[in-house]
Structure 1
């Protein structure tokens, strides 16, 4: 969540007044919390969940939709970060490997093992330059590619971090002949291929939503929604410091912030004793608005493309291809279902501009594909989706982007004395952070908050299943058994499989809702039904049509959005969300513009 106004991704000037949102009303009716988390990416949502589980009165606000910023623009990997070893970030790599293994256990519905192969073109290349890179964090002259010796050393160290509780096989090396037998379309000039396992998250947006709902559920354990100690709302922005440090008519004190409902334009004050700033690349702008100015951040932009390319999909053989491109940048190609994800760039971000994938970056992606699969050509019309985000990296001055630390730290500040609404709250700002370590990071942040409040930790999240990961089938046979058991009422095996993939075992709740009334699949897709959209509108804080296409489903990611789909989904959502004809037309137009501007998707017609 940032303060920068951006049509499509951060909420535009409201064009209509929808049905009053329970998420906003819960904050307006009780405008104080011990802790206010600002920012609804995975790290903010993880902190919200952890604090709620400790019994802390906590609120979270997000200017856009949950997982809309950098959290939704990741490479969809849950990994230890083998390349961070050359930066000397051993603590981070160790923690990342441990957390990777942990997420495979506590979020098995979304986090899956990912076989990864590194094509290697030399034996000893880079041995002399590696120490200099390690010491200076800079690339001197033309990049020297990492040869087999360095990669073997790194993978051996990587494996060592998995000794306690490791759940993935150790790495293997293959010579050229055997490597090409396994992956025949690899560049014939390779000398070796190293294969190891990391993990991927195919639904980062839905995993974020699961974490959020775990927090909300924990807050309601001792009472109904009105007495909840864990409240969260998207499309609710920090507007400024409020007008007073004490709420009128209450004894609550602390720092007062003014919040703005991005769907209606309404403003109201909210107080908190501790404020947690998890707004990613916008941390400094958020702190400035709260009178706690900082200069912590120096993010870099990363872009990706998604391809509908059966030839490239087949060439990967189900594996991620992870390698060093000619410029020294570590890049990746890997299959996600019937699509192929290619990324990523690492360039200095201009925070005055929207993060979008450029033509130059697309050319870079085509070039890197040719570097390892020289016989495969890619055409522009095979790109079904593009996305970009700004990594929340620390300020790095002269350090080159690829060498900037991916570790995180927590900075403590207080608002400037004398500012209206400044009050006495402590502001804890998250600098850095990555998907893989979100649970451990949230635990660290929550511990710091608990110390500020003089409270003790009650619950560990280390072994606590996340959302629909609880009771998730352990193997393919278990999955097929679940699917068969949930067929019926016009629901075939494919439909049951979609629901299990989308929700994990939370699909049980969805299916109960679907079966409680007449339902039908949409005409424009067999992956959604009328009542499922109504369930999302009631339970998943849908603010805009685009939320369903990009973050509640993978339809946009896979290039499956059509004009007919836009119209049909908008028609169904109109009743539960209170959209009249003008609002529905605005939502359709907004979705078209977001898809084109931010994701390279053009919807030419609104009819089939």
Structure 2
């Protein structure tokens, strides 16, 4: 990454997930000096554990969040156009079991922002109305919704005892949000060069505050931090730490009411042949027995099933999919595709993250707004803002909104935006066709070396889960991990005597966090 070359007064962005990276990019487009900081790795939190959809939020219509749906659809269509290497259209099918169900409960949610999901699911009239509004608010970048034919329904494998028809519509899919964040960071570097600003990234950092000064020091798990402290007097601080927003404020010794009330969302990954065949190229958007929306998606040569939505007050880093959630998603899958006979043995992996939603009182988690807020803190030693909420789809518009709040406060004008700026896939260097490959996977060793040297990868998890995306490769092996460990050792991030222990520890992490077995 770029060398630190700051004068006094960079804007510090805390949190290098998709929102923090998008904010850093938007600031760099203004020529601002930007320091992007994270306590762990790029995209190491909620970003990596999402449903990987770029969508307009069809269900937000039920809660009358019309402006959020409009914004999300505009951003969906923009990303399909400007980030086409990473975001692609995905057809989704909504099966329905009756015609009238959900009219009354839907009206309660629309007008009163409350009310339980219909016991018999949302009927065809409600679904058709929602999809019609959805199409009207969109720009026409994807085909409009349609009702599938009787023959298509008969061939779909959907539960004919539960459903009588289905509707088709399109949204977008972002296969790897982790690499989308890399692309944002690389483009922030490019924008800084174009506009004459400074951009720097620091991962695995502890931050403390003394008066108006922030002190950063390394907390890399395999290196000592002594003597590595850097002092920065920020022009402003933007707290984009996601579910750790409150923890970040506490670390800065800033008193604040609780801002985040996270909910836990778990997903399953399956390569079950019968489920993949039943699903085909389309995803399914249906409802579990409790009315919660469920996605079953074709993804990365597998099927992605999610998600749960459970209030969570623990450390987001410790959130894992528990047995109850896994069985819930299995049951929901079998209710949709009963002939598949989906079981726990068909689940190859799982993952879980915490959504950074606003703290609210009692009520259903699905009713908590997915819109974002740029919260100004008063009485702080430097301008301080916390980002509440947000989602993959609206990361760019969230960043634009944030810059339009922060820069005027600093008596600076906003002269540029990223509305028409293309976002190419991340660059991993020029690699010859006959390049050496990592053992057991079809990835060049040079990509790992590039990720370490230029993309801030410092641990096995950084490489496997967020640079090379090998965490989802069924052929990932200990031998491959050992080779990656050797690359880290060559770069000085790991002692060679530690490689075997590091691989053992990482294999245990994969089993605990992802349910993934590596031999």
TM-score, length-normalised on structure 2? 0.94
8 Å contact from structure 2 (residues 157, 339) kept in 1: no
- Measure how far apart 1:338 and its partner are: 1.6
1:55 aligns to 2:17 (yes or no): no
8 Å contact from structure 2 (residues 90, 170) kept in 1: yes
1:241 aligns to 2:209 (yes or no): yes
Q: Which residue of 2 aligns with 1:303?
A: 266
Q: Which residue of 1 aligns with 2:71?
A: 95
5+ residue gaps, structure 1: 1-21, 246-254, 417-422, 469-502
- Rounded Cα–Cα distance in structure 2 between residues aligned with 1:181 and 1:363: 27
Q: 2:430 aligns with which of 488, 510, 528?
A: 510
Secondary structure of the 1:438 match is helix
8 Å contact from structure 1 (residues 34, 56) kept in 2: yes
Q: Which residue of 1 aligns with 2:390?
A: 433
- Measure how far apart 1:342 and its partner are: 0.3
Q: 1:187 to 1:63 in 2, by over 3 A?
A: farther
Alignment of 1:204-283 (within 5 A): 204-221=177-194, 229-238=198-207, 240-242=208-210, 245=211, 255-263=212-220, 264=223, 265=225, 266-283=228-245
- Measure how far apart 1:182 and its partner are: 4.4
- Rounded Cα–Cα distance in structure 2 between residues aligned with 1:310 and 1:583: 39
- Measure how far apart 1:119 and its partner are: 0.6
- Measure how far apart 1:381 and its partner are: 3.3
Alignment of 1:123-522 (within 5 A): 123-140=99-116, 143-162=119-138, 165-174=139-148, 177-221=150-194, 229-238=198-207, 240-242=208-210, 245=211, 255-263=212-220, 264=223, 265=225, 266-294=228-256, 295-352=258-315, 354-414=318-378, 416=380, 423=381, 425-468=382-425, 503=426, 506=427, 509-511=429-431, 514=432, 519-522=435-438
| Residue-by-residue CA offset, 1:116-171 (whole Å, 9 max, x unaligned) | 00010110011122222233433348745210000111000000011xx4210000
| Residue-by-residue CA offset, 1:285-333 (whole Å, 9 max, x unaligned) | 2122223322211110001011111111111111110011110100110
Q: 1:44 to 1:462 in 2, by over 3 A?
A: same
1:523 aligns to 2:491 (yes or no): no
- Rounded Cα–Cα distance in structure 2 between residues aligned with 1:408 and 1:262: 30
- Range that drifts further, 126-135 or 457-466: 126-135
- Rounded Cα–Cα distance in structure 1 between residues aligned with 2:277 and 2:435: 37
Q: 1:350 to 1:222 in 2, by over 3 A?
A: closer
Secondary structure of the 1:595 match is helix
8 Å contact from structure 1 (residues 205, 552) kept in 2: yes
Alignment of 1:69-108 (within 5 A): 69-108=45-84
- Rounded Cα–Cα distance in structure 1 between residues aligned with 2:117 and 2:336: 23
8 Å contact from structure 1 (residues 44, 278) kept in 2: yes
- Measure how far apart 1:218 and its partner are: 1.9
Secondary structure of the 1:305 match is strand
Secondary structure of the 1:510 match is coil
| Residue-by-residue CA offset, 1:536-556 (whole Å, 9 max, x unaligned) | 221111110111111112221
8 Å contact from structure 1 (residues 323, 330) kept in 2: yes
| Residue-by-residue CA offset, 1:254-313 (whole Å, 9 max, x unaligned) | x31222211132433222021000011111221222233222111100010111111111
- Rounded Cα–Cα distance in structure 1 between residues aligned with 2:117 and 2:96: 21
8 Å contact from structure 1 (residues 120, 190) kept in 2: yes
| Residue-by-residue CA offset, 1:505-540 (whole Å, 9 max, x unaligned) | x46x433xx58xx94123322x22222221222111
8 Å contact from structure 1 (residues 41, 68) kept in 2: yes
- Rounded Cα–Cα distance in structure 2 between residues aligned with 1:410 and 1:369: 38
Secondary structure of the 1:528 match is coil
Q: 1:232 to 1:372 in 2, by over 3 A?
A: same
Q: Which residue of 2 aligns with 1:482?
A: none
- Rounded Cα–Cα distance in structure 1 between residues aligned with 2:504 and 2:404: 44
Structure 1 stretches of 4+ with a deviation exceeding 6 A read none
8 Å contact from structure 2 (residues 205, 216) kept in 1: yes
8 Å contact from structure 1 (residues 31, 269) kept in 2: no
- Range that drifts further, 392-401 or 594-603: 594-603
8 Å contact from structure 2 (residues 435, 444) kept in 1: yes
Output the aligned Cα RMSD.
2.0
Secondary structure of the 1:313 match is helix
- Measure how far apart 1:415 and its partner are: 5.1
Q: Which residue of 2 aligns with 1:121?
A: 97
5+ residue gaps, structure 2: none
- Rounded Cα–Cα distance in structure 2 between residues aligned with 1:585 and 1:32: 43
